[in-house]
Structure formats: C-alpha cells, structure tokens
Chain A
Amino acid sequence: MTRKVLAIASGGGHWVQLLRLRPAFDACDIAYVTVQPSYREQVEKGRFYTVTDATRWSRWDLFRMIFEITWIVLKERPDVVVSTGAASGVVALRVGKWLGAKTIWIDSIANVDEMSLSGKRVRGFADLWLSQWPEVASAEGCAYKGAVL
C-alpha cells in the first residue's frame, strides 16, 4: 500500500534541508507544507500547502498556524508526518500523532552543539527523533542516522 507522507518545514534552511530528503519519499503519496507560496516551484510532484509563518514569539500567528495545520492533517490523513523544523513541524507532529500517524523529526544541521528548542519539544511524540550530529544525539538521547550534507 502506498504510504501517505506529509512533509512539513518552515522557511529558509528548514525547507532547503527537507528538499534534500526527497529521495526518501520516492515511492510515496507526498504532500508538502511550508510557509512561502513561491516554494511551490521547487516541488514537481505532490500536493503543496502554505501556512502562516509563526514563531514562538507571535501568539496570534501561532494560533492561526495551529488551526491551518490541523485542518491540513485532518484533510490529508497521512500515514507519516516528517519535519525538519521548526514550530510548524512541532504542531504537525503533535496533531499527526493524535491521529495515528508515525512521526519523524530531523533537527536542523545548523544545530551543531545543541538540539533546537522545537526539537526538544517533540521528544514525547516523535517516533523517529533525529539530530544530524552524533554528539548532540548522545547528549539529548535522540538518534543519529546521518545528515543532509
């Protein structure tokens, strides 16, 4: 059965790192979620959604983003939710897990010394919880399976 995957990333490096993971989604029914409509041109196959670009400092934006992501996850009913961060990924993994999806978090390669705050947040509901640095993985108690670079 074709796996349905929801791949979500915030802007900039989070999105660029998610794109580098595309071969992992080859045999899947894939939908992408991010924060910039112009990023659509970078994905040839798959459905594409944009949500409000919210960080932990913008309460109203966060509220809107939570609503938008919840709607998308309910609509898509993915088997797997995967994110390279940041806040949008936390929300999608949380909602996805409640709906029975398997969840994957890949912390940004930029977090060389310490896992991001978002990454720490998903400890309880990321089935595959990854840092891209072995030392960070040891310190945090998450797994290391390689890097985007």
Chain B
Amino acid sequence: MIFATVGSQMPFDRLMEALDKWAGKSTQSMPILAQTGATKFRPKNMRAVESLSPAEFRDAVQAATVIVAHAGMGSVLTALEFGKPLVVLPRLGSKQETRNDHQVATARWLATKPGIFVAMDDAELEGAINRARTQASQSDAISPFATPALIDALKTFIHI
C-alpha cells in the first residue's frame, strides 16, 4: 500500500491530483490511502480520508510500503521513524500552498538523505515513486528521539 499525506494544517490538492492521476494508470496496481485534509477534491483512484488521529496515522505509515508526503516535518519524521521509503513534494508559497517557500529548502535538504526521494514539481512525482518502490528493503529507521547533543544541552540548561 502507498500512504499519502498532506499533513494536519492545510490541503495540498496539487499533490493529491497528481497522485490520483498516476494511480489511474493501468500500469499501476498498488492500493493507495490518501489523507487529503479539508478539500473538495475527491480522488477517483485512491481511498481518501480528510484527517487521521496520531494512532491512525502511525498505523497507516506502518502498513505502507511507500509514503508520499508534503515536505512537512511531522510527516517526514514519522515516516523516518518507521524506516519507510519516503517520496516528498514541497508546497509552494507562490501557489498559496503554505505561507512561504520554506518547504522547498526543506526538500532540497531531504534530497541528500538516504531513503528520501524528492520530486521538486508534480511532473517528477512518478519518477520519485518508482525509485522509492525499487528500494529493496526498508531504510534504517531513525531513533524516536533527538540527537544526544541537543538532549544533553537542554537537560543541562533545565537543571542549572
């Protein structure tokens, strides 16, 4: 299964429409669950839900073989914690998909990390999904916690 998510704040129809179009191709048979946010767009080729609780979200990530997401850190970190290959399409400020272009900068950074496949625009989405699917096994799951350096710095500051 592919699990696609636009995060908890705003819809991201450009991603949902591109994914739905890809899902409709006859060469594609993977079932897709899409968390769409509050939108009027109704996908034809994917199962859609508007929102998920944290537990439902984690279950969906766990059950999926590939995650497709906006470049939001909630979605990204959860996918990485489960070691799932992750496809990312950043939201654009110019299209009012989020408040500025910080997701584009985030996506450029994420592209340097193993197990993350970035599509900088929707035309690149299919290629990124195919690369994610050919990844032989799961990526190494990241730890559920921050780097020891940051944890220690906070602990020290809290207790002085």
Contact = CB atoms under 8 A, between A and B. Distances in A.
Interface of A: 3, 5, 11-17, 19-28, 36, 38-39, 41-42, 79-80, 82, 102, 104, 106, 108-114, 116, 127-128, 132, 145-149
B106 A21 contact: no
A134 B62 CA distance: 33
A24 B158 contact: yes
Of the candidates A39, A80, A112, A132, the one having the most CB atoms from chain B within 10 angstroms of its own CB is: A112
Nearest to B55: A41
- Please classify the interface of chain B as helix (H, G, I), strand (E, B), loop, or mixed, using the class held by over half of its residues: helix
Contact of A24 (B75, B102, B154): B154
A122 B14 CA distance: 34
A144 to B, nearest CB: 9
B73 interface: yes
Contacts of A132: 150
A112 B77 contact: no
Contacts of B54: 38-39, 41-42
A15 to B, nearest CB: 7
A113 B107 CA distance: 12
Contacts, number: 121
B36 interface: no
Interface of B: 7-9, 53-55, 71-78, 80, 102-103, 105-106, 108-109, 142, 144-151, 153-155, 157-159
A5 B146 CA distance: 18
A146 B78 contact: no
A53 to B, nearest CB: 9
Contact of B73 (A12, A36, A114): A12
Contacts of A110: 71-73, 102-103, 106
